[in-house]
């Protein structure tokens, strides 16, 4: 018996490279998975262990309805996000800033709202978000992307404080760069061989989502 046998895991942002990889990792660890995204690519059934639903994580009502229609999960994993490159602050586009806050911070806040609304009354569970190393940097990164991901780190700390003592933990994985097709296309001249692979990064999510990680909450794990 594995740690996740008989446990339900929700992966939000399941159509992205990281999200799809985490779906596969949790299935391999024994979980049944509810995979949520705005639009699915050709989805793998993983032997019937995965159920796919379409929902916009920035839509409060629609996201809440999905969580209410499901049995209480053991873990909720959020990989939703968007990226915007560097521009000078003197050339800041307010639409880009608002878009990044919506894609990265609003979605994380709404996932937190509805996950905790279900997990806390159950008295156990795991919520794991995804930030970025760019959240902690002031050079070589765009302000809109950086500040939206920094907001995710602050959200995780506040949520962990709020649920202390409930049996629910809230944590965050903080990647530098991930070896995905989208990132390779965006940076074709980079040394892709040195980039962290999804299978390796997935181990951090599996640990934080495990029953044995009950003493870890409010953490931001760099990978």
pLDDT digits (tens, 9 = 90+) for 154-188: 999 999 999 999 999 999 999 987 777 777 777 78
Q: What pTM did the predictor assign?
A: 0.94
Higher pLDDT pick, 47 / 117:
117
Tell me the average pLDDT across 9-20.
94
SS3 content of the chain, % helix, strand, coil (to 5): 45, 15, 35
Could you give the CA distance from residue 57 to residue 59 in angstroms, rounded to a whole number? 5
How big is the chain, counted in residues?
Answer: 223
Q: Kindly state the helix (H) or strand (E) to which residue 202 belongs, with its residue range.
A: helix 198-209
Cβ neighbours of residue 116 closer than 8 Å, sequence gap 6 or more: 127, 159, 162, 163, 168, 170
Q: Give the mean pLDDT of the chain.
A: 93
* Pair 63, 111: CB distance under 8 Å: yes
Q: How confident is the model at residue 14 (pLDDT cuts 50, 70, 90)?
A: very high
Contact 73, 118 (CB under 8 A): yes
Which comes out higher in pLDDT, residue 219 or 181?
219
As to burial, measured by CB atoms within 10 angstroms (0-12 exposed, 13-18 middle, 19+ buried), residue 29 is middle
Fold of 8-54+72-222: Rossmann fold (3.40.50)
Q: What integer is the mean pLDDT of 190-200?
A: 83
User: Does residue 23 contact residue 35 with C-beta atoms inside 8 Å?
Assistant: yes
CB atoms within 10 A of CB 34: 23
**Which DSSP category does 176 fall into?**
S
* Dihedral class, residue 218 (left if φ above 0, else alpha if ψ from -120 to 50, else beta): left
Query: In this predicted structure, what is the pLDDT of residue 1?
Result: 55
Cβ neighbours around 32 below 10 Å, total = 19
């Amino acid at each position: 018996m594995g740690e996740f046998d008989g446990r339900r895991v929700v992966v939000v942002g399941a159509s992205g490279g990281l999200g799809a990889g985490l779906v596969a990792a949790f299935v391999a660890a024994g979980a049944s998975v509810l995979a949520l995204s705005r639009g699915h690519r050709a989805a793998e059934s993983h032997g019937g262990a995965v159920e796919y639903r379409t929902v916009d994580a920035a839509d409060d009502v629609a996201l809440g309805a999905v969580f209410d229609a499901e049995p209480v999960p053991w873990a909720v994993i959020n990989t939703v996000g968007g990226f915007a490159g560097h521009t000078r602050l003197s050339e800041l586009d307010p639409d880009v800033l608002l878009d990044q806050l919506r894609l990265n911070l609003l979605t994380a806040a709404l996932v937190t709202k509805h996950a905790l609304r279900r997990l806390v009354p159950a008295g156990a569970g795991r919520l794991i978000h995804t930030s970025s190393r760019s959240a902690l940097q002031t050079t070589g990164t765009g302000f809109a992307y950086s500040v939206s991901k920094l907001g995710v780190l602050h959200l995780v700390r506040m949520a962990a404080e709020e649920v202390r003592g409930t049996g629910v933990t809230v944590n965050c994985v903080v990647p530098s760069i991930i070896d995905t097709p989208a990132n390779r296309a965006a940076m074709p001249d980079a040394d892709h061989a040195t980039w962290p692979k999804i299978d390796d990064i997935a181990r951090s999510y599996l640990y934080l989502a495990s029953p044995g990680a009950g003493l870890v909450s409010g953490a931001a794990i760099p990978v």
